Amino acid sequence: MSTNLTFPAGFIWGAATSSYQIEGAWKDDGKGESIWDRFTHTPGHVIDNSTGDVACDHYHRWPEDVKLMKSIGLQAYRFSISWPRILPAGRGAINQAGLDFYSRLVDGLLAAGITPFVTLYHWDLPQALQDLGGWPSRGTAEAFTEYADVVSRHLGDRVKHWITHNEPWCVSILSHQLGEHAPGWRDTAAAVRAAHHVLLSHGWAVPVIRANSAGSEVGITLNFEAKLAASGSTADIRKTRIEDGTFNRWFADALYGRHYPADIVDYYSPHFPHGFDFIQPGDFEAISVPTDFLGVNYYTRVIVRDTDAIDNDPQTLFPDLPQTEMPNWEIFPEGLYNLLNRLHFEYRPPRIYITENGASFSDGPDESGRIADARRRAYLESHFTAAHDAIRNGVPLAGFFVWSLMDNFEWAKGYDQRFGIIWVDYNTRQRLLKDSAIWYRDVIAGNGFSPRL
């Protein structure tokens, strides 16, 4: 197939999922309870009070899922490991059945010619560790390092791409300050402590993984949003800078050796009357351990309005911008282009993978079983194009993982939001390729595509 937007040779095309969102089998074979089990089993946290108890039943259907991946031609698959499947109490006794599950999955992927990219933490903390204080407590960072050791020791001969954490902002701020994700806290100081311990656990785990998995690439995935001031007012601009700082710079600055950004330290300091006493000597050196790549999750732009300011412009938020079905998730591919350039020029990661990008659209099967999700294809096409433009600028982008391989449990939004390139019927658990998956197969086969005008 000839394409007029061709990616560099060796560019990796993949798709991503996470354990809690697809596996189900929430207490099979010795798995311990996670904070997401507890959170979803408590009514009022998820829009439709749904849970991940069964989800896509991937735990039982993974061979079929690997076949589907192969039929699309995926070169890599990013999935996460459920910590409480491996260490039901968070630390200590290993559940061999949990390790065996992932070991079989890895073997199945390799046999299908698909490279596994393993995320160690995509939010399903063992509840037992939550009971001891969770991420706001430093002990959780120690426990994570032990867990990373166990997993990389058992899979490190075959897995050569490791992501320590998925989206530390979500683990800390969204879950501990904004209360939207498990454990559902609303405590800014706890959230900032959680953020520090997540980063610290990353720094401690990287050398452990490297020692167990010779020749592997190790990195971390951050989520970034483009932030734009709603107006030129001083208040909006100030607030935008804070949003960019708490969301984007806080994590990247620490990881790339700049400590925490001074303006955001000031911003958080009223929450710490006794200072940032949770930061200990050596922490920043650990956090800024060199990594092999930066994983980037990008979905949307946020237009920032300081609603408290009296000197502000009228309260318009551009209501007509094109959006996906995730409430307020605008379609803004330029944001990905700008972000990749910014990360490259400001932080110089040796390599970048887009570890998540995709869109929620609910298009389902017609009478013939076809799923015409043209809007998802257009979303992906525009973001692939933005990625290609960034590569032309010299950004060392090495791969792109579409979120998501299949429709799944979208956290507090339940099953209403469908991000998959594969449709999942939640009554029968039947899977069907959407048009976007078929188009993606051709993109992968041609290592590029001809944009539709």
Which residues are known catalytic residues? 167, 356
Least CB distance to ligand FCB at residue 409 (A): 9
Give whichever of 235 and 405 is closer to ligand FCB, judged by the CB atom. 405
d(CA 214, CA 193): 32
Work out which of 39, 224, 403, 449 binds ligand FCB, going by CB under 6 A.
403
Task: Write the single-letter amino acid at 375.
Answer: R
Q: Judged by CB under 6 A, how many residues of this single chain contact ligand FCB?
A: 12
Work out which of 419, 423, 440, 449 binds ligand FCB, going by CB under 6 A.
419
Options 60-68, 165-173, 251-259, 269-277: segment touching ligand FCB (CB under 6 A): 165-173
> CB 50: neighbour CB atoms within 10 A?
17
Work out which of 57, 356, 373, 407 binds ligand FCB, going by CB under 6 A.
356
Work out which of 19, 166, 231, 324 binds ligand FCB, going by CB under 6 A.
166
Return the beta strands (E) in 338-408 as ranges: 352-357, 397-403
Whether 224 contacts 248, CB under 8 Å: yes
Give whichever of 20 and 268 is closer to ligand FCB, judged by the CB atom. 20
Binding status of residue 75 toward ligand FCB by CB under 6 A:
no
Task: Write the single-letter amino acid at 121.
Answer: Y
Binding status of residue 164 toward ligand FCB by CB under 6 A:
no
Task: Write the single-letter amino acid at 72.
Answer: I
Return the beta strands (E) in 206-282 as ranges: 217-229
Q: Could you tell me which of 82, 175, 79 has the C-alpha nearest to residue 135?
A: 175
Binding status of residue 411 toward ligand FCB by CB under 6 A:
yes
* Span 286-315, contacts to ligand FCB by CB under 6 A: 297
Least CB distance to ligand FCB at residue 406 (A): 12
Tokens coding 233? 């007012």
Work out which of 15, 128, 170, 387 binds ligand FCB, going by CB under 6 A.
170
Whether 393 contacts 343, CB under 8 Å: no
Binding status of residue 223 toward ligand FCB by CB under 6 A:
yes
Q: Which residues pair with 161 in a beta bridge?
A: 217
Whether 20 contacts 409, CB under 8 Å: yes
Q: Could you tell me which of 48, 21, 26 has the C-alpha nearest to residue 37?
A: 26
Give whichever of 208 and 343 is closer to ligand FCB, judged by the CB atom. 343
SS3 53: coil
Give whichever of 19 and 382 is closer to ligand FCB, judged by the CB atom. 19
Least CB distance to ligand FCB at residue 440 (A): 17
